[in-house]
């Protein structure tokens, strides 16, 4: 089985960060979302992975290379513009051949994995097997109507009146039958080739399409608050380790990771938290659910529930929480006091007054 990972979207909901990096490379617990996806796929035994990329294709190849470092082989498939999930399948036809494949949205987080569902697909091999999840309000999702045996009866994209509470998660298993369906459907009202239309085409023709429920944590890391929520979820699973330096005047409480080359000086870090390789935390108080990226410098700060991206610096800023600090950004304060919420883009400079 091969994999197709979709990473060609513009990431409009994640601005300003998506101006300078693809949203799929936003780090969660100091690891890009896309790398979490690749690790999930490798856990399924899938090593041949096609990555559909848009205008920032070079960012992916710079970070992931050919995939050998991560135990997989990557093929990059360019998409000229976001034209729908079914369009991604169409342009990947040569890579996919007639093999079964799993299609995975590159900004989705499913930390419990879908190994059991993959095993069901391999054993039964329906034309398509959808991963579904119960949600409180299905109107923002593709929704599946499923019978008692797990067979899909109908699919509706973002329905005003949902037929069920089963949202289609961003993971799909397909046989080669999907290619005929993709070729048969036309663009939707929003000008995209919808994968739900292609799957419904199979359903209408009596081809077996099944759905399996995923009951673990699931979120699309496409907005600021969702990124922070995903970061918290992954940090809650953290196992403590110290490969860097922690001086005698510092205290680590709970699950804290200090990566190689990092230094913690006269500081208290309350986990779950991670300090990236080569980062320096000095005279600071770092609260739970904080990820500090590689090469960061934090001096005299109080930070919690925050993601600090690579090589950013913070000085003298207190009570920062629920924030994301961009790559190489500089945040400093003069007579700072009180609470701040910061959404700071890459290479920015911010001074916070009292």
DSSP letter assigned to residue 51 = E
Task: Centre a 10 Å sphere on the Cβ of residue 239 and count the other Cβ atoms it contains.
Answer: 7
Looking at per-residue confidence, does 128 or 83 come out higher? Answer: 128
> Taking all residues of the chain, what is their mean pLDDT, rounded to a whole number?
88
Give the CATH class of 238-353. mainly beta
Give the tens place of pLDDT for each residue, 245-268: 999 999 999 999 999 999 999 999
Integer angstrom CA distances of residue 160 from 138, 139, 141:
9, 6, 10
pTM, to two decimals: 0.87
State the Cα–Cα distance between residues 301 and 278, nearest whole angstrom. Answer: 18
Q: Residue 325: which H helix or E strand, with range?
A: strand 320-325
Which of the four pLDDT bands, split at 50, 70 and 90, describes residue 60? confident
18, 19, 25, 28: CA torsion to nearest 10:
-50
Tell me the average pLDDT across 117-134.
95
Across 37-41, 118-122, 136-140, 229-233, least confident range: 136-140
pLDDT of residue 14: 56
Tell me the average pLDDT across 228-246.
95
Looking at per-residue confidence, does 15 or 56 come out higher? Answer: 56
Tokens describing residue 277: 């390789």
Instruction: Say how far residue 157 (Cα) sits from the centre of its chain.
Output: 22
pLDDT of residue 347: 56
Instruction: Using alpha carbons, select from 181, 112, 167, 105 the residue that is nearest to residue 139.
Output: 167
Q: Omega before 37 cis (within 30°)?
A: no
Which of the four pLDDT bands, split at 50, 70 and 90, describes residue 75? very high
Query: To the nearest 5 percent, what fractions of the chain are helix, strand and coil?
Result: 25, 35, 40
Q: Omega before 272 cis (within 30°)?
A: yes
Q: Is 225 strand, coil or helix?
A: helix
Which of the four pLDDT bands, split at 50, 70 and 90, describes residue 326? confident
pLDDT of residue 7: 84
Looking at per-residue confidence, does 36 or 350 come out higher? Answer: 36
pLDDT at 201 over 60: yes
* Residue ranges of domains in the chain: 2-222, 238-353
Question: Residue 155 forms beta bridges with which residues?
Answer: 144
Domain 2-222 annotated CATH 3.90.550.10: yes
Which of the four pLDDT bands, split at 50, 70 and 90, describes residue 310? very high
Across 143-157, 204-218, 226-240, 327-341, least confident range: 327-341
Q: Is 314 strand, coil or helix?
A: strand
Instruction: Using alpha carbons, select from 219, 220, 216, 230 the residue that is nearest to residue 117.
Output: 216
Q: Omega before 15 cis (within 30°)?
A: no
pLDDT of residue 40: 93
Q: Residue 31: which H helix or E strand, with range?
A: strand 31-32
pLDDT of residue 348: 59
pLDDT at 231 over 90: yes
pLDDT at 26 over 70: yes
């Amino acid at each position: 089985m091969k994999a197709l990972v979709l990473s060609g979207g513009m990431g409009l909901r994640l601005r300003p960060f998506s101006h300078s990096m693809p949203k799929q490379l936003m780090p969660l617990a100091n690891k890009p979302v896309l790398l979490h996806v690749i690790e999930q796929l490798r856990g399924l035994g899938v090593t041949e992975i096609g990555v559909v990329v848009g205008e920032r294709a070079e960012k992916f190849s710079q970070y992931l290379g050919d995939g050998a470092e991560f135990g997989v082989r990557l093929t990059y498939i360019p998409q000229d513009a976001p034209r729908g999930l079914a369009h991604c399948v169409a342009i990947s036809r040569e890579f996919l051949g007639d093999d079964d494949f799993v299609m995975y949205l590159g900004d989705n987080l499913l930390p419990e994995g879908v190994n059991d569902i993959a095993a069901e697909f391999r054993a039964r091999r329906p034309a398509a097997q959808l991963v579904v999840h119960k949600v409180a309000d299905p109107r923002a999702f593709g929704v599946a109507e499923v019978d008692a045996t797990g067979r899909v009866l109908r699919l509706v994209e973002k329905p005003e009146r949902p037929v069920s509470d089963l949202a289609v998660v961003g993971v799909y298993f397909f046989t080669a039958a999907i290619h005929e369906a993709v070729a048969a459907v036309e663009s939707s009202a929003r000008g995209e080739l919808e994968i739900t239309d292609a799957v419904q085409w199979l359903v209408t023709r009596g081809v077996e399409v099944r759905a399996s429920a995923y009951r673990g944590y699931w979120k699309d890391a496409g907005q600021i608050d969702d990124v922070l929520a995903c970061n918290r979820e992954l940090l809650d699973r953290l196992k403590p380790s110290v490969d860097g330096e922690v001086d005698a005047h510092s205290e680590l409480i709970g699950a804290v990771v200090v990566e190689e080359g990092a230094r913690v000086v006269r500081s208290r870090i309350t986990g779950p938290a991670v300090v990236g390789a080569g980062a320096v935390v000095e005279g600071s108080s770092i609260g739970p659910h904080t990820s500090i990226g590689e090469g960061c410098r934090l001096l005299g700060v109080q930070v919690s529930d925050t993601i600090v991206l690579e090589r950013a610096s913070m000085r003298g800023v207190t009570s920062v929480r629920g924030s994301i600090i961009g790559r190489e950004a500089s945040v400093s304060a003069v007579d700072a006091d009180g609470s701040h919420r910061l959404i700071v883009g890459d290479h920015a400079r911010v001074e916070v007054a009292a």
